[in-house]
Amino acid sequence: MFRTTLNEFKTFAMRGNVVDLAVGVIIGAAFGKIVTSLVNDVVMPPIGKLLGNVDFKDLYWNLDPGKLLDGKVPESLDQARAAGAAVIAYGQFVNVLIDFILVAFCVFMLVKFLNKLSRKKETEAPAAEPTTRECPYCISEIPLAASRCSHCTSEVEPVGQASSAKG
């Protein structure tokens, strides 16, 4: 019983779609970390510098202005949380929002590229060899190997022989 279940699980886990999905999730998680680092370490610092040395991850609204830390008003998000103040950390939300937009744009560009590749393959497919031709007398379609037209009964040369028609 256990061996049968194990074999069924092995068959399920080794199917192409499951393996492809697992690889996609792993690569997606790694890509997400790269984009998060890009947003937090490359994109947001210059934006914060332009806005007057603002660190976006520390932007918050203090919903408990009466909460003090050692008798002082908290100056950072960490200090406000340490004081037990209720806060809305909108700066971190801005970082995550930019992170999402960059990931969505990269996925869009990847899908666009893959669609372009698949369209290119479709247009490059060679045309099928013709299997019929026109009868030179009645202009109806006849097989390439025909020696007589099925419509007008004229004798025609099969394709590959001299093209003079008898009639």
Residue 99 lies in a domain: yes
Number of domains present in the structure of the chain: 2
Residues 93 and 166 in one domain: no
Range of the domain at 167: 128-167
Residues 26 and 94 in one domain: yes
Residue 139 lies in a domain: yes
In this predicted structure, what is the pLDDT of residue 2? 82
State the chain's maximal CA–CA distance in angstroms.
114
Residues 104 and 134 in one domain: no
Ranges of the chain with pLDDT below 50: 162-167
Residue 77 lies in a domain: no
Look up the CATH number of the domain holding residue 94. 1.10.1200
Measure CA 83 to chain center: 44
Residues 158 and 103 in one domain: no
Q: How far apart are CA 137 and CA 125, in angstroms?
A: 33
Residues 106 and 136 in one domain: no
Residues 104 and 34 in one domain: yes
In this predicted structure, what is the pLDDT of residue 160? 66
In this predicted structure, what is the pLDDT of residue 164? 47
Residues 97 and 161 in one domain: no
In this predicted structure, what is the pLDDT of residue 76? 81
Per-residue pLDDT tens digits for 78-121: 888 888 888 888 888 888 888 888 888 888 888 898 888 878 76
